[in-house]
Structure 1
Amino acid sequence: MSVTLSDARVVTPDGVHDGWLTIEDGRITHIGRGQAPRDGLGLGGRTVVPGFVDIHSHGGAGGSFPDGDPETAAAAAALHLSRGSTTLVASLVTAAPDTLARAASALADLCEQGLLAGIHFEGPYIARSRCGAHEPTLLREPDVAEFRALVKAGRGHVRMLTIAPELPNALDVIRDAAAEGVVAALGHSDATYERTIEGIDAGATVATHLYNAMPPLGHRAPGPIAALLQDERVTVELINDGVHVHPAMLRLAMHAAGAGRTALITDAMAAAGMGDGRYPLGPMTVDVVDGVARLASDTPGGGSIAGSTLTMDVAFRRTVREVGRSLVDAALTASLTPARVLGLDGEIGSITVGKYADLVVLDDDLSVGGVMKRGAWVRHP
């Protein structure tokens, strides 16, 4: 199958070009400027960006990945795909080891079907003082043998582990994760600047939702934020929903880390794509009011932000409009940088000849007008 998309603003890592691209057998085979050499689908000057890569999402469309229910997980994945996330990692939350293992096994089936790109354990090895929307009674000290059992349950699809580096045995688990090919992400942590550096030296390469669930920047006690921002080995996740992080702090982080070390995430939970109401997040109960998710007032930590209702198209649009970054930078942070975190940047993440045709067509207001995954329209423009 071959299709040419013409009369488009094509966003590549090198810039924004008025032109066209051709897709054959699911991959991009040609990219050109100006008039297309063959008839194709004219996009009327609309913008084409690479499919979004969301490496941290807990669900959507009423479904919660921590539940491990294949049907609702598939519905959540479909919701995010319709909003442009052609690559999606399913994030779990703190739970008992057997619960995590069952959920990982169920989600591994969806990974093997191509609906998900992997599994992320956010907990249980996180700091009680920064646990946020995680059940504090289920938190555990890091344990290499237990972690290996969770990885085994995921059948090769575990992509990431969020861990607080100050906990006992945390550095050992970080080293083991790196050896297992699992990305170690530092977060939900009260670590000092120095201990954070130790975690990075042990092999951690990602900051889980920078700023959130960690101490703020201090000029005498810089804490984890300074360590994570300044280290070239680390990619920082950012939730750009207008709730989790002030635009000024987003600008600061993107200036410090650059688009090449910044990954937009949604941290979405079941309410993404839905209305206000009460939703589950693992063992916790979340109330969504005016689109903002918080732990229910009658639960431990009630009132804490509990994930988001964000989708990646909104995060992309806010990065251009509210943060002031270019289309190229927004595409890097929403697609190529997170693809690099997963080790998939040779296949996805940018509009580049030879890569899969995972594409999003954006209307003039940067809303999603079309979505293509591996050369097939999921949402026709």
Structure 2
Amino acid sequence: MKTTRHGAVLGLIAAGALLLTACGSDNNTPAGNATSATSGAAAATPVECGGKAKLNAEGSSAQKNAIDTFIQAYKAKCSGQDLAYNASGSGAGVKNFNAGQVDFGGSDSPLSKDKGEVEAATKRCQSNPAWHLPLVFGPVAIGYKLEGVKDLVVNGDVAAKIFNGTIKKWNDPAIKALNGSATLPDKDIKVVYRSDESGTTDNFQKYLKAASKGAWTQGDGKQFKGGVGEGKEKSAGVAQAVGSVDGAVTYVELSFAQDNKLSIAKIDAGQGAVELTGESVGKSIEGAKIKGEGNDLVLDLDSIYATTTAGAYPLVLATYEIVCSKGYDPDVAKAVRAFLTVAATDGQAGLADAGYAPVPKAFQDKLLTAIKAIV
């Protein structure tokens, strides 16, 4: 990992790392060390290395930089072991996991029962259920490029109307009402969206549905349904496109917005404008609840999207590693357990520098229980 690439992100997330590792925990680790709680868990958690020498995984591009961090930690912990990750997007990750072409998939959304994904995953896992393991948390930015405007505020209603084409100009009265005396140009809004199937798109549209109070009626899903704008592939593609066009706006993970020097909108959920910071992300993740059963750790994020908690940034994405609970060949199961154990412990220490937030302690404990049970 190149620490210089994400240096700007570190300042945003590092404070949140303190909050997140303490979230829901009775661990009395000194607050001065942002990774001490995670490091303590890592030191106490044995890793049984071995099995398949090179795992294959595919999916979410939102977690690509986090997976790179996990791979480095895995190779350091388990000499001779490796993992190849193809950041092809959540849709492809689910499809190829269910087809048995990769050892696990990465998705920003849970498997869909209605689309047959749950049934297909059960078949792939030799008639055993697949589990969702939320290993990566990260904020999604409403990133934009607008000359002369660096401090933009939106809310759920305005964001929905921008991304479904109802609001077409940057000086629209609804935007001006949230931005006081700011000078907004009479310029067309150019929406850029993910053209490939994306869990980021699904999460963003679910946010718009929950937070817009009826303005977003287009639904959700991994395909963008706003009916406006220009599509680009993957997180890097949309961020690069916005960075090259004045008046453009998109939804994208924080690290990609930072990499492309995009301005990031504040979000007003009813308690004042909230900047995307480590602390504001931490307040949102504190409210995340698990709605899956047993070791299937599916999160209920609806309460986050529609939060009115003061100081909470509501656009937070959780990425799942989708694994077989049972049904792997023994050498694959052993390597999958080893990689995921390292990712949930040692690997978390490097996430702040890669633009993400470490998993809360309570989540880490649940993750390790689930990982240990994979066979």
Q: Same fold (TM over 0.5)?
A: no
- Asked which structure has the greater RCO (Cα within 8 Å, sep 6+), the reply is 2
Q: TM-score scaled by structure 1?
A: 0.28
Higher strand share: 1
Normalized per residue, the structure richer in helix is 2
